[in-house]
Structure 1
Amino acid sequence: MSEANQVQGPSLYERIGGDAAVNAAVDVFYGKVLDDYRINRFFAKTDMPKQVEHLKAFMTVAFGGPNNYTGRSLRDGHARLVTMGLNDSHYDAVMEHLGATLHELNVPEDLISEAAALVESVRGEVLGK
Structure 2
Amino acid sequence: MSLYDEVGGAAAIDAAVDGFYGKVLADPLLSPLFASMDMTAMRRKQKMFFAAVFKGEANGADGYMRSAHKRLVDDGLIGDAHFDAVALHLQATLEDLSVPGHLVRQIMTAAAGLRNAVLNR
TM-score by length of structure 2 reads: 0.90
Aligned-residue sequence identity (percent) comes to 41
Which has the greater radius of gyration? 1
| C-alpha separation in 2, matches of 1:110 and 1:61 | 20
Kindly state the Cα deviation for residue 11 of structure 1 after the two structures are TM-superposed. 1.1
Q: Deviations over 1:91-111 (max 9, x none)?
A: 000010001000100100100
One of 98, 102, 127 as aligned partner of 2:119? 127
C-alpha deviations, 1:32-52, integer Å up to 9, x for none? 000000111111111100000
How is 1:1-129 mapped onto 2 (pairs within 5 angstroms)? 10-64=1-55, 73-82=64-73, 83-129=75-121
Q: CA offset at residue 79 of structure 1? A: 1.1
Structure 1 or 2: larger helix share?
Answer: 2
Amino acid paired to 2:11:
A
Q: CA deviation at 1:77?
A: 0.7
| Structure 1 residue 73, shift from structure 2 partner | 1.4
**Greater RCO between the two (CA within 8 Å, min separation 6)?**
2
Paired position in structure 2 for 1:4: none
CA distance in 2, matches of 1:12, 1:64: 6
1:18 Cα deviation from its structure 2 partner: 0.6
Q: What is the number of equivalent residue pairs in this alignment?
A: 116
- Alignment gaps of 5+ in structure 2: none
1:19-73 CA-to-partner distances (Å, cap 9, x unmatched) read 0000100000000000000111111111100000000000001111677xxxx81
Alpha-carbon distance change, 122 to 66 in structure 1, aligned in 2, over 3 angstroms = closer
Q: Which runs of 4+ in 1 moved over 2 A?
A: none
